[in-house]
Amino acid sequence: MTPPRNSNAVRDIANVLHPYTDAKAHQVNGPLVISRGKGVRIFDDQGKEYIEAMAGLWCTSLGFDNERLVQAAANQMRKLPFYHSFTAKSHEPMIDLAEMLIERAPVPMSKVFFANSGSEANDSAIKMIWYMNNAIGRPEKKKLIARLKGYHGITLAAASLTGLPANHKLFDAPIAGGRFHHVGTPHHYHNAKPGESEEDFATRLAEELDAYIINEGPETVAAFWAEPTMGAGGVIVPPRTYFEKIQAVLKKHDVLFVADEVICGFGRTGNYWGCQTFGITPDILVCAKALSSSYLPISAVMVNERVFQGIVEGSSAVGTWGHGFTYSGHPVAAAVAIETLKIYDEMDLIGHVKSVGPHLQSELQRRFANHPMVGEVRGVGMVGAIELVEDKGARKNFDPARKIGPRLVKHGEEQGVILRAMMNDSIGFSPPLVITKDEVTEMLDRVERSLDALSVELRRESIAAV
């Protein structure tokens, strides 16, 4: 690939260390520099337009130019640009936002703790659970179970929950000590046995979890973490009856359920919360991203009364709950989040997703399900994926070294659509929630052209008979 020549790209290479990037390859290929956004579209520093099929990182729900959010930030900057929440200090935006989240929670919750990212929120939930169990006299109940291919963030503790190899290799994660565990991925396409129905697959996964907890010792297992629909692991929608059966196991062994709603929350799955879509009743709910349409960094951890009382007991004994961040509940970020939630209510965001989401899902199926390079099309609401395979009948993925998914992403950029490649060459779709049906159609037209171009390229290389 030709090295970048515009001045912005050269300056980036000279100074910026990018997350989730091959740093060596980046020195040759350089960045795509984004200059501005409007609606569901972004524009690079050369003026080229793209439809953002991933809403940035699953997050810019209201698009890239919502003036009300800009004004909410500006107004709060003029009134109170910063204050903290340590040592019993507070401010109105944080109080109001906490009240709004408790009112909207999918199950009764007691308190809200604010952080700045989903990673920090999940890390905070880990500390809450350990703190609680120490406080109530269960110091041995510390093990945490998540799922292979699950994503819960990249702080060292959150990365230990995450079940993706790239988040572990060379980082010495998971943290040593035997507290972080992973069980099977609820992906029927790859992991079900021949002839096994979704319901039977769900039963088997629940039985495996039950056996795992018994083997570890229920008195040592504190919590189970799950995204309602897995995001960065490849948009994996759980099989029918999965969460019903998983929750019965957790209740049997007195294991807390932490719902990671960082991607799924605020309408992405077709309901306000992914918990409502899949019948989940969490003890702790973690959210971020669409909480402020990602205009400013903010996340939240909602805890039920049982968890809160554990924190009460511990902080009384110690003299403080020694956790928090300088920017926890930052007033400007909180003000933007408040305005975001108001906009969701006023525009009937859930009604919009229920109208446009089925169009996205049906068009993904119509256009790609029978394509010889697509093994599975999956999704729910306004999130989906197509998985590229070398052998459709055998459900065989391409050799990862071929980088087939990233190659489609590059073709997408050429066609004017921003995509994301994940494990097993799964290509994700998570557009801004304000996208229209016509914009969905235009987005998928560009994806079709990208896949056609990749197919021609692979035929020339004799990689795939497509």
- How many whole angstroms separate alpha carbon 262 and alpha carbon 155? 15
Instruction: Judge contact between 161 and 152, C-beta under 8 A.
Output: yes
Q: Tell me the domains of the chain and their CATH numbers.
A: 32-65+349-460 (3.90.1150.10), 68-346 (3.40.640.10)
Distance between CA atoms of residues 270 and 128, nearest Å: 30
- Degrees, nearest 5: CA angle 200-203-208: 130
Report the pLDDT value the prediction gives residue 463, as an integer from 0 to 100. Answer: 60
- Residue type present at position 127: K
The answer to whether 343 and 68 have CB atoms below 8 angstroms apart is yes
Which residues, other chains included, contact 154 with Cβ-Cβ below 8 Å and sequence gap of 6+? 19, 119, 162, 167
What pLDDT is stored for residue 1 in this prediction?
43
DSSP string, 18-70: -TTS-HHHHHHH----EEEEETTEEEETT--EEEETTHHHHT-TT-S--HHHH
pLDDT of the chain, 466 residues: tens digit per residue: 455 668 899 999 999 999 999 999 999 999 999 999 999 999 999 999 999 999 999 999 999 999 999 999 999 999 999 999 999 999 999 999 999 999 999 999 999 999 999 999 999 999 999 999 999 999 999 999 999 999 999 999 999 999 999 999 999 999 999 999 999 999 999 999 999 999 999 999 999 999 999 999 999 999 999 999 999 999 999 999 999 999 999 999 999 999 999 999 999 999 999 999 999 999 999 999 999 999 999 999 999 999 999 999 999 999 999 999 999 999 999 999 999 999 999 999 999 999 999 999 999 999 999 999 999 999 999 999 999 999 999 999 999 999 999 999 999 999 999 999 999 999 999 999 999 999 999 999 999 999 999 999 999 987 644 5
Give the strand pairing for 256-260 and 41-44. unpaired
CA distances from 167 to 94, 142, 211 (A): 32, 22, 27
User: What is the Cα–Cα distance from 30 to 394, expressed in whole angstroms?
Assistant: 37
Report the C-alpha gap between 377 and 245 in whole angstroms: 25
Residues 6+ apart with CB under 8 A from 303: 109, 110, 111, 112, 113, 125, 128, 283, 284, 311
Task: Tell me if the bond preceding 174 is cis, omega within 30° of 0.
Answer: yes
SS3 content of the chain, % helix, strand, coil (to 5): 45, 15, 40
CA dihedral over 172, 175, 176, 182, signed as positive or negative: negative
Dihedral sign (CA 168, 169, 170, 176): positive
Q: What is the pLDDT of residue 462?
A: 78
Asked if 261 contacts 59 with a C-beta cutoff of 8 angstroms, the reply is: no
